[in-house]
Every structure is written in structure tokens, then in C-alpha cells.
Structure 1
Amino acid sequence: MDNRTGFRRRGHGFLADQARQALGMAGEAKLLADIPAPLVHTAFGAAVCAVAILMRPEALGLQRSAIASGCLAVFTGLALVAYDFLVYPAESRPGLEGAALPVAAVASFATVLAGVTPIAVRLAAGVVAAIVIGGVPHLAGRRVTGREGWATRFGRDAAGVAVLAPVLVAASSPVLPPLQRAGLVAAVALLVSIDGLRTERIGVIRALLASAVVGLIIGEVTLPVATATGNAGLRAAALLVLWYGLRGELGVLVTSRRNHWTSIAEYGIFVLAAAVALGLIAARNL
């Protein structure tokens, strides 16, 4: 039992564990009740999105909005880590990596507010951000406690795509200066890549280095692509495919898998397809 003052386990999972111990069943089961619950985090995510709306460029100006949104993203990550540290036992805490995708979600929503004007798109982006902030710590907790199945992995990958895609679309907006667009895309791609690579059980340092390379490449490619003419959705889709391929390639390179070259070839197909698409987009603007 967790004997820290003011904190104790509770709920059906705890009672079932106590019953198992009373029957003499050895070992302590990993309790779902000890994993960060989505409800509290989702409510916090909704509050963060509400604050982000108040910090939109129309209200504060572009520069002040960018600074305020960056501070809000950092605060969100620190608040999630602090809450999980105080409330949940060590064996079920997602740690710092669990805050990577929520921080990226805040940055993504702020980017949509700055670069996209339709209310429907902004509303959808806010809902996605709140769900990601609420759900990802729970999914990360399942990974830490050994409860991560294919559905959990798929959920985290889908959350990463949902966070990165709006940023890639908004990067084509002329509202944001080119360097700020590239830097923002690089930062969000780095955070999303960290979450994805850690899902693959890659070490923290290796995941961070690989994610930094992915972020730099995506940010660099964004500069010429964002100024191209044509459908912004197609450009964002090509960049998203490129990110997926690069993340997979570098993820394989920093591990010691036996099917090393097979995996590199598989992810290389995505990189090649994205490169061809981006090349065609660039050729149309010559």
C-alpha cells in the first residue's frame, strides 16, 4: 500500500488487489487505478485550450502571442509532470516523456489559432488538443506498467499525427514569418517524434538525438515547401509522410534490431515517396 501522507490507493482496482492478497495470491498486480486517469487531465487540457484562445494573435499581437503560447506549453508540461508525481506511485508515472505530446498539442493549437481563421477548424483543433492532453498521460502510464497493447500504441501514434498535421497545414499560412514557421514545425516534430520513439522502447538519449535530427530535417524542408503554391493539404500530407519515414529510419538506426536492413528499406519507401511528391510540388513553382 502507498503510505504517503494524504495519498492512498482507492477504487475497484485497489479493492480487488486487497482481495487477492487476502487469499494468499503472491505478487502485486499492476493496477489500472494507479495509471493517470484521463478525466482530470482532459479537464486540464480544456482549460489550457481556453487560455490559449485568449492568447491568440488577434488579441495580443503575433509576437506577444508566440511568447505567451510558448510559456503556456511549458507550463502545461510541468503541471502534468508535477500532478502525476504527487498523486501516482513511482511505478506508474509516465515521467517527462509523457509530457512531450501534450506540450506539442498546445503548440499545435496555438499555431492553428495564428495561421487558420475558420472557426470550425479552430474548434476541431481545440478538441483534439484537449483530448491529447487528457489521454496521452494515461496511455504513457499503461506503457510504464506493462499494459501497452496494440490499441494503446495505435492511440499514441494517432495522437501524434493529429498533433503534427495541423502544424504542417498552418505552416503554409503567410501570417507567420518563414523562420518562425520552420522553427515551430521543427519543435513540434521533435516532441512528437520523442513520444513515438519511446513507444518503440528506445532509450531516452537515443530517442532524443534521433528526434532532434527528424525535427531539423522537417523544419528545413518546410521553408521552401511552405511558400509554394497549390493545395496546402497536399503539401502537409507530403511532409507528414516524410516525417513518418524519417522517424522510422532513424528509430531503426539507433536500435540493434535483427531485421535492420529490412526495416530501413520499408521506411525508405515512405521517404522516397515523400521526396518525389515534394519535388513535384517544387517543380510546379519554378
Structure 2
Amino acid sequence: MDNRTGFRQRGPAFLAAQARQALGVATEPRPLAELPPPLVHTALGAAACAVAVLVRQDILGVAHSAMASGALAALTAILLAGYDRLVYPRERRPRVDSLALPVAAVGAFAIVLAGVPQLGVRVAAGVVAALVIGGVPHIVGRQAAGRDAWLHRLARDVAGVAVLAPVLVAASSPVLPPAPRFGLVAGVTLLVSFDTLRTERLAAWRALACAVLVGLAVAGASLLAGTSSMNAGVRAAALLVLWYGLRGAGAALAAGRLSRHRLTLVAEYAVFVGFAAGALRWIVLNS
């Protein structure tokens, strides 16, 4: 029985399909939503930042603002996970732990609104938060799709530093009380450290354990260093160097068997830790 319709297929698309078939290349089209543009994520980040402005400390108070910011961070994570579930195929869907840095970005912006009165720092932190919330899921999606590259890992590390730096500035200013400052710095540092450690191919439980220790250490150092409205940037820079050294040494120690190369890495990162500790001590003695 002849089922031909009488219409002959032609055109560039048909010829390209025939060429792929002759070469043995699969002709199934890849899903258009496999790597969606980061527009929706960025819009969600901008909306989260707008809500964070409305629930800042000087409007709701410390306790209510902290609860509202925590709920906002959780809601942002739920919306990001739900959107990724809708648009990504199951086998290319980003992991749940990839939401750590976007959640940290929301918390960081809330901390900056509470602890830094300068408008320029607030605006910069809001832009960074929106871009991180919009860009990091797209980077993780490319990595999940098998398009991992050193540039993607570098971008995630840079995003982590951009999120953490204004938080350390806020932690060095005398606006926030000690207990909330310790908890907020520890939480954001934990999330940022966890994300950067996962880029080092560490298992989730190893990365989480190391991130907890790094977060507690940096938050404790921020309390010991004290606060000052005059040199908050210098204190924040020293704390950032301390975080870099602790994170790097922790990644080398948690990676597994301690080879000579890993011990060398630990020694190199220990130099940063020692330099940061000396700088913080000098700042405390001369403040």
C-alpha cells in the first residue's frame, strides 16, 4: 500500500537531516528549555531584593526583619527549584544544593540593608544579589548539561566572593548587635563556602562539614576583631583573606588522602590564614 502524500520533502532542513542520518548522527532535537536564558531567574532575584528592601531592619525591627528575610530566602529557593523542575529535563536538572549561593545572596543583601547605611554599598549589594540569583542557576544548568568548563567554576567562585564581601563589611560596622551579627555571618559564610567547596568536586557531606567549620571560624573572628565605623573595609578585607585561606585549606584536607601535593596546598593556604590573623590583630591593637 502506498502511503505517500504526493508532497516531496525538500529544503535545507531536510537535507541537513539526511546528512546527519548518513553520518550516523542522532537526529532527535535537544529540548529548547535545556538551557533556558537567565531572564526569569534574574527577574526573581530583582523581586526578592525589592521585597528585602521592604522588610529591612529599620522598618520591622531586628527580630521581625530577620524572620522575614529568612522566609524570603526560603521562598526564593522554593521558586527557583520549582522553575528549574519545570524547564529542565530530569537528567539535566541542577542539584538542590546548587541553591546555596542564591539563598546566600538574599541573606547577604538583607544583612547589608541592616548593617551598612551607605546607599552605594546597598545598591551594589542589590545588583550583585540579583545577578547571582539570575546567573548561578544558569551556570549550574550548563554544568549539569555536560558543558562544564573552568570558566564556569571561576564564575561561581567570583560570585561567592561578591556575595560574601559586603556581608563582612556589614559585620565590621557597629550597627548590628553581636549575637545577630555572629549568626548572620556564620550562615552566609557557610552557604558561600559550601557552594565553592562543591565546585572542588567534594562530596556533599564533606563540603557541608568543612563549610560549617569555616563559617564558625570566620564569624568568631569577626566578633574578636570588633567593629568600627572608620575602617570597616579594612576589617572586611582581612576577614575575606581569612575566609579564602580557611576554605582552601579545608578543601585540601577534606579531599581525601593527604598526599604531598595536598600538604603543599594546605601550607600555601595557611600563609593566607596567618597573614589575615596578623592583620586582624594589628587592627584590634590600633583601633
TM-score, scaled relative to structure 2: 0.87
1:265 maps to 267
How far apart, CA to CA, are the structure 2 residues paired with 1:65 and 1:128? 21
Residue 244 of structure 1: aligned partner:
244
Instruction: Give yes or no for the alignment of 1:279 onto 2:281.
Output: yes
Residue identity opposite 1:260 in structure 2: R
Q: Which residue of 1 aligns with 2:52?
A: 52
Answer whether contact 1:45 1:134 (CA < 8 A) is retained.
yes
What are the equivalent positions in structure 2 for 1:1-286 lying under 5 Å apart? 20=20, 24-26=24-26, 33-227=33-227, 230-256=230-256, 258=259, 259-285=261-287
Do 1:179 and 1:223's aligned partners in 2 also have CA atoms closer than 8 Å? no
- The one-letter amino acid paired with 2:231 is N
Q: Tell me the equivalent position of 2:12.
A: none
1:23 deviation in Å? 5.5
Q: Which digits, 9 at most, give the CA deviation of each residue in 1:109-160, with x for residues without a partner?
A: 0011111122222111111100000000111122222312122111111100
Alignment match, 1:6: none
Q: Deviation string for 1:87-127 (max 9, x for gaps)? A: 21122222212110000000110011111122222111111
Q: Which moved more, 1:226-235 or 1:108-117?
A: 226-235
Contact 2:69 2:107 in 1 (8 A): yes
Structure 2 letter corresponding to 1:59: I
Question: Which runs of no fewer than 5 residues in structure 1 stay unpaired?
Answer: 1-15
In 2 relative to 1, CA 19–242 (structure 1 residues): closer, same or farther, beyond 3 Å?
farther
For structure 2, which runs of at least 5 residues remain unmatched after alignment? 1-15
Structure 1 residue matching 2:269: 3-state secondary structure: helix
* Residues in 2 aligned to 1:17 and 1:230: alpha-carbon distance in whole angstroms: 67
Relative to structure 2, which stretch is displaced further, 181-190 or 50-59? 50-59
Q: Verify the 8 A CA contact 2:173 2:229 in the aligned structure 1.
A: no
For 1:279 and 1:82, how far apart are their aligned partners in 2?
46
Q: CA deviation at 1:36?
A: 4.5
Number of residues of Structure 1 aligned to a counterpart in Structure 2? 270
- Give SS of 1:136's match: helix
Displacement, 1:229?
Answer: 7.0
After superposition, what is the alpha-carbon deviation per residue over 1:242-264, rounded to whole angstroms, capped at 9, x for unaligned?
A: 10110111111111364211111
- Aligned residue identity for 1:93: R
Q: What amino acid maps onto 1:282 in structure 2?
A: V
User: RMSD between aligned alpha carbons?
Assistant: 2.4
Which amino acid is 2:224 matched to?
Answer: P
CA distance in 2, matches of 1:44, 1:256: 38
Deviation at 1:170, TM superposition (A): 0.4
**TM-score, with structure 1 as normaliser:** 0.87
Question: Are the counterparts in 2 of residues 38 and 138 from structure 1 also a CA contact under 8 Å?
Answer: yes
After alignment, is 210-219 or 259-268 more displaced? 259-268
CA contact under 8 A between 2:35 and 2:141: conserved in structure 1? Answer: yes
* Superposed displacement of residue 40, structure 1: 0.8
Distance in 2 (alpha carbons) for counterparts of 1:42 and 1:110: 17
Verify the 8 A CA contact 1:35 1:141 in the aligned structure 2.
Answer: yes
- Asked whether the equivalents of residues 33 and 87 of structure 2 are also in contact (C-alpha less than 8 Å), the reply is no
TM superposition shift of 1:44: 0.6
Q: Contact (CA 8 Å) 2:33, 2:88: kept in 1 or not?
A: no
SS of 1:34 mapped into structure 2: coil
Using the alignment, how far apart are the partners of 1:182 and 1:45 within structure 2?
Answer: 25
- The 1:22/1:50 distance shift into structure 2, 3 A limit, reads farther
Native 8 Å contact 2:20 2:27 kept in 1: no
Q: Provide the identity percentage.
A: 59
